[in-house]
A and B are shown apart, each in its own frame.
Chain A
Amino acid sequence: MNKSVRALLGATALCSVAVAANAETLTIATVNNGDMIRMQGLDDDFTAKTGIELEWVTLEENVLRQRVTTDISTNGGAFDIMTIGMYETPIWGANGWLVPLDDLSEEYNAADILPAMAGGLSYDGTLYAAPFYGESSMVMYRTDLMEAAGLEMPDAPTWEFIREAAAAMTDRDADINGICLRGKAGWGEGGAFITAMSNSFGARWFDMDWNAQFDTEAWANTLNFYKGMMDESGPAGYATNGFNENLSLFQQGKCGMWIDATVAASFVTNPNDSEVADSVGFALAPDNGLGKRSNWLWAWALAIPAGSQKTDAAKQFIEWATSTDYIELVAANEGWANVPPGARTSLYENPNYMDVPFAQMTLDSILSADPLNSTVEESPYVGVQFAAIPEFAGIATEVSQEFSAAYAGQQTVEEALAKAQAITNDAMEAAGYR
């Protein structure tokens, strides 16, 4: 090998090292759920297209929430992209902690984002986080048990029908509970469910002067109905059941109905995990004829903290991860049932996706939730199963602990509501709302 060839090879090697050394790396904080893990498995596609490397920090939802809140509120800059929800986005957007996503490319087609999602992830009309996937809640039920009970599930059931069907499907000897619902303490667990349910009973967290409303008849009706139905037809220990516990019960054929996140539909219909995969039907979350249903609205979305030094690269990643191209990439690798749902309108115009049994009901559920107008009577807050104010998470966790204690029979519903009223009013007074 002559000298010039050696020199050329050497220079090439040095250049490649230099390019590698200069390659930009994004640090992404995310939650541990199926869609996010799937994205990590497909991130080579993004790196191949852009040359940008990705580093993932995957944490449990509550740990992640605390971790990214610490970082963003101190302008720490540890992360270039954060996975956050509908609760944080408007609050952080208002604080100036997030980079506005108002200059995404034309090819990205931001107008394709479902309006309910875009609305919940915006502050003052500006989008601050792009939805990776969205969800509402709906009824998942056993078609075989419903048939055996001689009942037919309407597309839009009432709570009275749900209670009647739950009682008819319950068979304690066969270890079948008519209905499984969240009762576990925590604002994102049982707290989220009961708040969404209360909307359909005409209840609300606050009046227009931020006074707590737990002393109203609507809240008493909500809790008494929930507890009465669960005592009749729910599983033992329902006061400590959350999403995972109910998913486990449903997959093992121990629930007649389960009202929970629409993303659970892909789990319960997956024959690898679910014993009842081929006998699951779907319906809208119940109502009481008051004009509001009991379904929630949530999105896991990608946002750029204001402290990031790599805003342009971060926007490139967000455009890739929440694009229609990414949806097609997942469909090609994992099938249409596993694409991230609930974020884009065009997904629900795609005949391939609409063949998925729960696609239409998921869309209908999302469309029927309105975070800007979630309660029967006027309320001062944004959010369906939460109020988008910083104090809510702490207050709702305490309140849901009182509710769970009532479900478990450690106190009466009246006592729990009286405590919830005092906890909420005290906290709101301390925070300067009242």
Chain B
Amino acid sequence: MARSVTKQQKALNTAIAWTIGLLIFFPILWTILTSFKSEGQAIADPPIFLFFDWTLENYAVVQERSNYTNFLWNSIIISVGSTVLGLIVAIPAAWSMAFTPSKRTKDILMWMLSTKMLPAVGVLYPIYIGATKMGLMDSHIALVLVIMLINLPIIIWMLYTYFREIPGEILEAARMDGASLKEEIIYILTPMAIPGIASTMLLNIILAWNEAFWTINLTVTKAAPLTAFIASYSSPEGLFYAKLSAASTMAIAPILIMGWFSQKQLVRGLTFGAVK
């Protein structure tokens, strides 16, 4: 039976939700506002919120100094490429763990997750040397592979959770109708798990987009994505906060817009299987 909620409680819940939402969004809002200030206004004390001389100068300087389109294109290739490759590897892996588990499946899942706890810098040298020797330094291939491997445990875990919610009997029925393993995964399982796969994809694109350690360390100029673009505007000796904010806004804008339009799918996917 649904619990009755009074109007006052509803209003209170809405107010709390909005407050939390605004608090979380505030740093992004502040970055966007700072990007339209002069360097002097950016560091003003007390800080200026809205009433300042709005300027596009920082965007003009950033555009002139950096090839934004190149960085953006690299970010798209790396984030989408690593996610698609990750899904290709993870869907069969999650299928086998969800529908044909062995005694060790839980241990394997935990072990995969534990690899996320390894500090990235611990494997920097072997991966750096490997990429250099194979001629993959500053290439999309190296970054797609490395970021796919980093995010693979999360992709498998998420898909495993979604697949577990799909009744095994449906797959059995498909098998009885003569479906091969490949057909079972492509034509039966994947369409049923579309919301889960979509949210996994979106979340991993966001994770790959924001990845800053490997994308800076394995690139020079050709494959450098937007994380390297932002890093080029940070300075401990010089006040470049407004320009840094403009660069940050330009870097987060595409993923922010993507997140805005796909929020329904994201939420649906993330809560998929939460209520049984």
A interface with B by C-beta (< 8 Å): 27, 31-34, 37, 40, 55-63, 67, 70-71, 74, 76-79, 188-189, 242-244, 247-249, 251-252, 254, 261, 263, 267, 273
A60→B231 contact, CB < 8 A? yes
B124 interface hit (Cβ, 8 Å): yes
Q: Which of A34, A189, A252, A254 touches B238 (beta carbons < 8 Å)?
A: A34
Question: In the bound complex, how far is the Cα of B243 from the Cα of A37, in angstroms?
Answer: 13
A59→B216 contact, CB < 8 A? yes
B237 interface hit (Cβ, 8 Å): yes
B96 interface hit (Cβ, 8 Å): no
A70→B217 contact, CB < 8 A? yes
Report if A61-B220 is in contact (Cβ < 8 Å); known contacts: A40-B65, A78-B138, A254-B45: no
Question: In the bound complex, how far is the Cα of B43 from the Cα of A77, in angstroms?
Answer: 39
A61→B44 contact, CB < 8 A? no
A273 cross-chain contacts in B, Cβ below 8 A: 39-40, 239
Question: In the bound complex, how far is the Cα of B224 from the Cα of A248, in angstroms?
Answer: 31
B138 cross-chain contacts in A, Cβ below 8 A: 78
B231 cross-chain contacts in A, Cβ below 8 A: 59-60, 63
B233 cross-chain contacts in A, Cβ below 8 A: 32
User: Can you name 29 A-B residue pairings with CB atoms under 8 Å?
Assistant: A27-B220, A31-B235, A32-B235, A33-B235, A33-B237, A33-B238, A55-B220, A57-B221, A57-B228, A58-B232, A59-B231, A60-B231, A60-B232, A61-B236, A67-B217, A70-B124, A70-B128, A74-B129, A77-B132, A78-B220, A79-B220, A189-B236, A244-B235, A244-B237, A247-B239, A251-B239, A252-B43, A252-B45, A261-B237
A267→B238 contact, CB < 8 A? yes
Q: Which of A59, A70, A247, A252 touches B44 (beta carbons < 8 Å)?
A: A252
Question: In the bound complex, how far is the Cα of B39 from the Cα of A55, in angstroms?
Answer: 27
Minimum CB–CB distance for B45 against chain A, Å: 6
Q: Which of A40, A243, A252 touches B236 (beta carbons < 8 Å)?
A: A243
Question: In the bound complex, how far is the Cα of B43 from the Cα of A59, in angstroms?
Answer: 22
Question: In the bound complex, how far is the Cα of B125 from the Cα of A70, in angstroms?
Answer: 7
A60 cross-chain contacts in B, Cβ below 8 A: 231-232, 234-236
Minimum CB–CB distance for B156 against chain A, Å: 30
New A-B contacts (7) at CB < 8 Å, excluding given A188-B236, A251-B43, A267-B238: A32-B238, A33-B235, A57-B220, A60-B234, A61-B236, A78-B132, A261-B237
Report if A78-B137 is in contact (Cβ < 8 Å); known contacts: A59-B232, A70-B125, A254-B45: yes
A79 cross-chain contacts in B, Cβ below 8 A: 220
A248→B45 contact, CB < 8 A? yes
Question: In the bound complex, how far is the Cα of B176 from the Cα of A410, in angstroms?
Answer: 70
A70 cross-chain contacts in B, Cβ below 8 A: 124-125, 128, 217
Minimum CB–CB distance for A229 against chain B, Å: 22
B124 cross-chain contacts in A, Cβ below 8 A: 70
Question: In the bound complex, how far is the Cα of B240 from the Cα of A379, in angstroms?
Answer: 38
Question: In the bound complex, how far is the Cα of B217 from the Cα of A76, in angstroms?
Answer: 12
Minimum CB–CB distance for B51 against chain A, Å: 18
B237 cross-chain contacts in A, Cβ below 8 A: 33, 61, 243-244, 261, 263
A244→B239 contact, CB < 8 A? yes
Q: Which of B178-225 contact A (CB under 8 A)?
A: 216-217, 220-221, 224
The 9 closest A-B pairs by CB, nearest first: A60-B234, A58-B232, A248-B43, A32-B235, A55-B221, A76-B132, A78-B220, A33-B238, A59-B231
Residue among B220, B233, B238, B240 with max Cβ neighbours from chain A (10 Å): B238
B216→A67 contact, CB < 8 A? yes
Question: In the bound complex, how far is the Cα of B224 from the Cα of A70, in angstroms?
Answer: 17
Minimum CB–CB distance for A187 against chain B, Å: 12
Q: Which of A27, A63, A189 touches B216 (beta carbons < 8 Å)?
A: A63
Smallest CB-CB separation from B229: which chain A residue?
A: A58
Minimum CB–CB distance for B223 against chain A, Å: 12
B216 cross-chain contacts in A, Cβ below 8 A: 59, 63, 67
Question: In the bound complex, how far is the Cα of B227 from the Cα of A57, in angstroms?
Answer: 13
Minimum CB–CB distance for B236 against chain A, Å: 5
B221 cross-chain contacts in A, Cβ below 8 A: 27, 55-57
Question: In the bound complex, how far is the Cα of B40 from the Cα of A267, in angstroms?
Answer: 12
Minimum CB–CB distance for B55 against chain A, Å: 13
Question: In the bound complex, how far is the Cα of B233 from the Cα of A270, in angstroms?
Answer: 21
A32→B232 contact, CB < 8 A? yes
B217→A74 contact, CB < 8 A? no
Smallest CB-CB separation from B236: which chain A residue?
A: A61
Residue among A40, A189, A273 with max Cβ neighbours from chain B (10 Å): A273
Question: In the bound complex, how far is the Cα of B237 from the Cα of A242, in angstroms?
Answer: 9
Minimum CB–CB distance for B240 against chain A, Å: 7
Minimum CB–CB distance for A389 against chain B, Å: 21
Question: In the bound complex, how far is the Cα of B180 from the Cα of A320, in angstroms?
Answer: 68
B234→A32 contact, CB < 8 A? yes
Question: In the bound complex, how far is the Cα of B275 from the Cα of A361, in angstroms?
Answer: 72
Question: In the bound complex, how far is the Cα of B238 from the Cα of A242, in angstroms?
Answer: 11
B217 cross-chain contacts in A, Cβ below 8 A: 67, 70
B228 cross-chain contacts in A, Cβ below 8 A: 57, 59
Residue among A40, A61, A79, A244 with max Cβ neighbours from chain B (10 Å): A244
Minimum CB–CB distance for A71 against chain B, Å: 8
Question: In the bound complex, how far is the Cα of B240 from the Cα of A32, in angstroms?
Answer: 9
Residue among A32, A61, A251 with max Cβ neighbours from chain B (10 Å): A32
Minimum CB–CB distance for A158 against chain B, Å: 27
Minimum CB–CB distance for B98 against chain A, Å: 40
A37→B65 contact, CB < 8 A? yes
B 243-258 to A, binary, CB cutoff 8 A, 1 in contact else 0: 0000000000000000
A251 cross-chain contacts in B, Cβ below 8 A: 40, 43, 239
B235→A76 contact, CB < 8 A? no
A244 cross-chain contacts in B, Cβ below 8 A: 235-239
B238→A74 contact, CB < 8 A? no
Question: In the bound complex, how far is the Cα of B237 from the Cα of A247, in angstroms?
Answer: 9
A55 cross-chain contacts in B, Cβ below 8 A: 220-221
Minimum CB–CB distance for B131 against chain A, Å: 9
Question: In the bound complex, how far is the Cα of B221 from the Cα of A37, in angstroms?
Answer: 16
